[in-house]
Amino acid sequence: MAAIWYGAALSPTPGPAAQVPDTVLHMVGYAAVAWLTLRATAGGRWSGVTMRALAMAFLIATAHGASVELEQMFVPTRIAEWRDLWNDMIGAGAGLLAAWGWSTIKG
């Protein structure tokens, strides 16, 4: 999460990341953030994946995405967008759905 916050404060530079659509970066990134957050909220056990753990992971990932967009409002070379937060939420939801499915197999 700290790496995302740090990266959001930097000026964008052209390169390989610029070749990947912004939507994909947000969705994949926040799927990973939500998945890892779920591991924490579930106590590191697949059997600990409950609706409460899933909801907490989603709320934490969403709050993080919102804080990054808020941060970007104060960085001259960045633009905060509702669409980015929406894509973060979709990615988090997809990551958690996949994690929930995995937990039913492994848990």
pLDDT averaged per 10 residues, the chain (length 107)? 63 68 94 97 94 98 96 89 97 97 88
Q: What is the pTM of this model?
A: 0.84
What's the confidence (pLDDT) of residue 19? 80
What DSSP assignment string belongs to 11-78?
Answer: PP--SHHHHS-HHHHHHHHHHHHHHHHHHHHTTT-GGG--HHHHHHHHHHHHHHHHHHHHHHTTSTT-
Domain map (residue ranges) of the chain = 20-106
